[in-house]
Structure 1
Amino acid sequence: MTTARRPGMTRSAATAVTTALSALALLWIIAVLARDDPSLTGAPLGMAAWWGLVVTLALQSAALLWSHHRATVTLACAAGLSLVLAAVFPSGLFTVTALPVLVAAFLAGLTGLWRDVRWWALASGVLVAVAYVVNVRGAGHFGSPALTMQAVLQAGLVVGLPLLPASLIAAQRATRAAQREALAAATRERDAKVSEAIALERAAMARELHDIAAHHLSGISLMASVVARQTASAPGEARSGALLIRKQSNAILEDLRRLVGLLRDAGHGDEGVKTLDTLPGLIETARLTGARVDFDLRSDEQRDPGAGVSPLGQLAAYRMVQESLTNAARHAPGAPCAVTVDDRDPRRLRITVRNAPPGPQARPASRGTGYGIIGMRERAALIGGFFVAGPTGDDGWETRMSIPRESGHDLPERSA
């Protein structure tokens, strides 16, 4: 027995026990009242009739134990048992058997598919109507011309009436389940897209890291060859050591190319190493497209701009400005932008890109995916900095990145 079926069996058992107790309690109340008013039972009943009614109610309630599996069959069984009782022990207490049938009908409408329930409900309604007619005739009342109408009304009240709220509840459950499934599917799709975007962004970072490493390791290799040629003392040993440095540098460069080269896209059109020095070119390119971009570099006169910031940190700053200007052009076309590079803090470099809200005539693009924000945040985390983005008080947008310096207070002086 699977764990998934146990809650259903527990609910069915609780329903069966509750229905049996309720029906037997109602029967006991009628028996007590019948002592003073025998007309409640239609005619005096023998002990066999009372026990037959008790057994029928017990069997009808026991049938509810399988309502979690086949509620429609349970409904037909409960209705069939009432017909058996009407045929064997017809009496005025026949209506008590309607309680288990009513519960079974509600459960059938709640748990079954309507295309199946409707036919079982129709068959059960016929059984209830026939049982009503058999009980009336068996009790000695041959009835009136309206007997058939009364029987149909009895079937409608016992079988049809509980099906209405049960079907509504089942429809609401199905709608909520479909909404949850659609939400789960949308969430899975979003997560897949975010994972893909992060993977692409990390591949781009690896590609750019390769460019930076290749640039600097190539410099190391050139310097080592220069040292090898300019060594004056102990030329043999110095030359061997310098050549070894060059050999190791070339080996590292080659291994790095093999390792990261698989992530490199063919035909990538942005191959240059990006630093703070290339920011003015980026700003000028944005201006050529018609964007209004102001650039403010706040630097310390005692050192060169970006001193102490690693090449990867400068690349993160460049990409942050690039992505922010792209987002501004997309979501706030025509709005002026301000790029501020604050290089005065000896410990951190701070970059801010702020755009005004779009004008009334502008037609912003549709809502983005947020992958650009994810990429900028990933870059900041990679270099130990932090990144924040959000709306401004005037309905504009601002992105900020803080990048730590590698050398702290020991920064090189500005070159003469």
Structure 2
Amino acid sequence: MTTAQRADRSRSAATATATATTTVLSALALLWIIALLSRDDPSMGGAALGTAAWWWTAVTLVLQSATLLWRRQATATLGCAAALPLVLAAVVPSGLFTVTALPVLVAAFVAGLTGAWRDVRRWALASGVLVAAAHFVNGSAEARTDGSALVLQAVLQAALVVGLPLLPASVVAAQRATRAAQRETLAAVTRERDAKIGEAIALERAAMARELHDIAAHHLSGISLMASAVARQTVSAPDEARSGALEIREQSNAILEDLRRLVGLLRDVGSEDEGVKTLDTLTGLIETARLTGARVDFALRSDGRRDPGTGVSPLGQLAAYRMVQESLTNASRHAPGAPCVVTVDDRDPSRLRLTVRNAPPGPQARPASRGTGFGIVGMRERAALVGGFFDAGPTGDDGWENRMSIPRESDHDLPEGSA
């Protein structure tokens, strides 16, 4: 049994104890009040405190209330609580019999609140018959009314004591079931959303791993070729230099092979490799977007003292390219027809900044349904991978803006005096 199950069982037992205690105290208090009133009303014969009828009724009330402790079988509890008054009516009929209706009423409410409706209907019908029979037996022994009136009273007693509390109990139980169903639905939706986000992140990471493989493979292959050339050209060099160059080539090949095996486990089978994406390929991306009818403007802000993207790693340039690509895609989906502006700010000697801003959709546009946010997650992860920063949000004119900042690896490639 888990901790949660033990806690639920403990709460259920505490509730049952409180219900039984409250019921027996209320019933005995009512019985005591009736006994006090009987001192001034001789017509309530046998109802005085200390008489046999009073004690038998008190014992019956205690037993009826004790059945309420059996909370796990609330429908059976209702049947037991309804059967005990019949025994009392057969043994010691009196005017105190009416008090026994209180525990039955409580038991009916608890059964309707916690029991299955199929079982409640069956036990409620049986309990109603028992309550009516007990009332008829008690009334017949006192001989206060004729037979037909007594039967009518017995039926009304059963309807009021058993049927009436089932109405509010069924309403409360239905509300509980509705809230439980809503919680389960919300939990299922949350699990499904988390699974989709996890799947999207996994796919995005696999795509980044594939692109990282392309970049690393390109550079490592160059290292391997250069080392091979050095080994062939250093004829006059010492043998140690030649051996070192060969070792460099061997180690480069080993690293390249290990990297291919590792990334091969992550990349998608059947996906086609693409060329390495850099800032130089942004113009081609923007031209492709324009061919689809998109209105895209490109602005490059540079101080002219260095080439755009100088000092930005290949992976950083790839992150910048993918950010622009994803931003234009989102703009075409959520703000079709709205003009976009792609800005590359290369003036800061320590960081490269990119901004993609789109205006709000026009009145005739039909935006796509609300997205899942996976694109934002991917762009933020790409920025974090290269030590950069990504931010996105609405603009003051109801448009949207994505911003990415990518640090330069070092200043050794920058022109002198640019910092």
TM (normalized to structure 1)?
0.94
Mapped contact 1:71–1:107 kept (Cα < 8 A): yes
- The 3 A distance-change label for structure 1 pair 35 and 398 is same
Mapped contact 1:221–1:249 kept (Cα < 8 A): yes
Q: Which amino acid in the other structure matches residue 386 of structure 2?
A: I
Residue 44 of structure 1, CA deviation: 6.5
Match of 1:53 among 45, 57, 60: 57
Write the distance in 2 (CA, Å) between the matches of 1:41 and 1:23: 19
Question: Percent of aligned positions with the same letter in both sequences?
Answer: 79
1:326 aligns with 329
2:151 aligns with 148
- The 3 A distance-change label for structure 1 pair 38 and 380 is farther
Deviations 1:246-299 (A, max 9, x none): 221111111111111233334434511111111111111111111111111112
Match of 1:39 among 32, 37, 43: 43
Mapped contact 2:35–2:48 kept (Cα < 8 A): no
Deviations 1:324-349 (A, max 9, x none): 11111111111111111111111111
1:13 aligns with 17
- Mapping of 1:11-410 within 5 angstroms? 11-41=15-45, 47-66=51-70, 68-143=71-146, 145-231=148-234, 234-407=237-410, 409-410=411-412
**Matched residue SS, 2:43:** helix
Q: Which amino acid in the other structure matches residue 59 of structure 1?
A: L
Write the distance in 2 (CA, Å) between the matches of 1:302 and 1:312: 23
**Matched residue SS, 2:148:** coil
Write the distance in 2 (CA, Å) between the matches of 1:332 and 1:219: 43
**Matched residue SS, 2:363:** coil
Write the distance in 1 (CA, Å) between the matches of 2:143 and 2:39: 22
In structure 2, the gaps of 5 or more residues are none
Mapped contact 1:38–1:44 kept (Cα < 8 A): no
- The 3 A distance-change label for structure 1 pair 43 and 51 is closer
Match of 1:413 among 396, 400, 415: 415
Residue 236 of structure 1, CA deviation: 3.1
Mapped contact 2:38–2:48 kept (Cα < 8 A): no
- The 3 A distance-change label for structure 1 pair 45 and 315 is closer
Deviations 1:30-53 (A, max 9, x none): 111211223345776872211101
Q: Greater shift after overlay, 115-124 or 136-145?
A: 136-145
Mapped contact 2:47–2:54 kept (Cα < 8 A): no
Mapped contact 2:54–2:96 kept (Cα < 8 A): no
- Give the root-mean-square deviation of aligned CA atoms: 1.8
Write the distance in 2 (CA, Å) between the matches of 1:29 and 1:44: 10
**Matched residue SS, 2:372:** coil
Write the distance in 1 (CA, Å) between the matches of 2:36 and 2:178: 47
- The 3 A distance-change label for structure 1 pair 295 and 41 is farther
Q: Which amino acid in the other structure matches residue 398 of structure 2?
A: D
Write the distance in 1 (CA, Å) between the matches of 2:273 and 2:347: 30
Write the distance in 2 (CA, Å) between the matches of 1:21 and 1:51: 15
Mapped contact 1:354–1:398 kept (Cα < 8 A): yes
**Matched residue SS, 2:68:** helix
Write the distance in 1 (CA, Å) between the matches of 2:43 and 2:96: 11
| Aligned residue-pair number | 412
In structure 1, the gaps of 5 or more residues are none
Mapped contact 1:41–1:93 kept (Cα < 8 A): no
Mapped contact 1:304–1:412 kept (Cα < 8 A): no
**Matched residue SS, 1:146:** helix
- The 3 A distance-change label for structure 1 pair 235 and 412 is farther
TM (normalized to structure 2)?
0.94
Write the distance in 2 (CA, Å) between the matches of 1:41 and 1:297: 106
